[in-house]
Structure 1
Amino acid sequence: MRLSNLADYAIVTMCAASRHCGGGRTSAADLAAETGLPVPTVQKLVSKLSAAGLIRSTRGAGGGLQLARPAAAISVADIVEAVEGPIALTACVEGGDCAVSEDCSVRPHWPVVNDALRGALAAIPLTQLARTKEMA
């Protein structure tokens, strides 16, 4: 399994956003500058992360972006699902097409595997990833 570039970039963006916790708001352009990601990519991510309730956007003077909840309450699983949808290693669990679905003896066990993977990612809070190298 490998995260998509967009999911990876979402985690990087959320780490940068978390460094603004408790302070003022930031912008997509500032997050792009901090992370080295293209502004359009960060804007797309901010839209997805906002729709998932992970980032809050405020318009107007003094507006900007901030985490919608404390960084310690946001997990890697939350971020990945905001971009990729539910964590599932196989398409059959989500009702996708499979050539052997009628005769597959493993299919009933995939939810257990997916739950274990999601649980592992859910156990990693954003605060852990956002630490700088000196703090780790």
Structure 2
Amino acid sequence: MRLSSLADYAIVLMSAAARKCAAAPLNATLLAAETGVPLPTAQKLVSRLSAAGLLASARGTGGGFRLARPAAAISLADIVEAVEGPIALTTCVDDHRDYCALDHHCTVKPHWSVVNKAVRSALDSVTLVHLSQPAPEFVRVKVPA
């Protein structure tokens, strides 16, 4: 499983917004410059993230974008779903699709919802607060031979 570049860029933009949002309203140009995301892509993503209720926009002088809710209340799952749609690892767990050639005799199907919930839960447990801070140092663990 791999996130699309668009989802990855949305996460990068939102983490930058979380770091910068308190100072002043943001715009796509500023976010693009801050992150290196191409401006047309940043504009497209700002629009999608606003439509999903993750960014709030204000027009006019002093306008721009702000996080629509606190960074602690916006998860990685929220951002991914804003760009990709509902998280569904297989068609078995996708509410919008109901066809699978193996459906009638698949013994794995009942397990996919458990796996999908675990992945979504993991993504939901990471918030913009986590993503807007420096990454923690990883402790190297020696594996016995």
- The TM-score bracket by the shorter chain reads over 0.9
Match of 1:60 in 2: 60
1:4 pairs with 2:4: yes
Q: Name the CA distance, whole Å, in 2 between partners of 1:85 and 1:59.
A: 27
Match of 1:23 in 2: 23
Which structure has more RCO (C-alpha within 8 Å, separation ≥ 6)? Answer: 1
Residue type of the alignment partner of 1:44? K
Query: TM-score by structure 1 length?
Result: 0.92
- Can you list the C-alpha shifts for 1:43-74, whole angstroms capped at 9, x where unaligned? 11111111111001111111001100011111
Question: For the Cα contact (< 8 Å) 1:20–1:66, is it kept in 2?
Answer: no
Q: Name the CA distance, whole Å, in 2 between partners of 1:114 and 1:81.
A: 13
Structure 1: segments with no counterpart, 5+ residues:
none
- Secondary structure, counterpart of 1:61 in structure 2: coil
Residue type of the alignment partner of 1:59? R
Shift of 1:21: 2.7
Match of 1:106 in 2: 108
Match of 2:120 in 1: 118
Alignment of 1:82-101 (within 5 A): 82-94=82-94, 95-101=97-103
Match of 1:71 in 2: 71
Query: TM-score by structure 2 length?
Result: 0.87
- Secondary structure, counterpart of 1:88 in structure 2: coil
Question: For the Cα contact (< 8 Å) 1:75–1:124, is it kept in 2?
Answer: yes
Q: Name the CA distance, whole Å, in 2 between partners of 1:54 and 1:84.
A: 14
Q: Name the CA distance, whole Å, in 2 between partners of 1:21 and 1:64.
A: 10
Q: Name the CA distance, whole Å, in 1 between partners of 2:134 and 2:66.
A: 19
Q: Name the CA distance, whole Å, in 2 between partners of 1:38 and 1:27.
A: 13
Structure 2: segments with no counterpart, 5+ residues:
138-145
Identity of aligned residues (%): 62
* C-alpha RMSD of the superposition: 1.5
Residue type of the alignment partner of 1:115? K
Residue type of the alignment partner of 1:28? A
- Secondary structure, counterpart of 1:19 in structure 2: helix
Q: Name the CA distance, whole Å, in 1 between partners of 2:58 and 2:8.
A: 25
Q: Name the CA distance, whole Å, in 2 between partners of 1:132 and 1:106.
A: 39
Shift of 1:92: 2.6
- Secondary structure, counterpart of 2:106 in structure 1: coil
- Can you list the C-alpha shifts for 1:1-36, whole angstroms capped at 9, x where unaligned? 111111100000001111123221011000000111
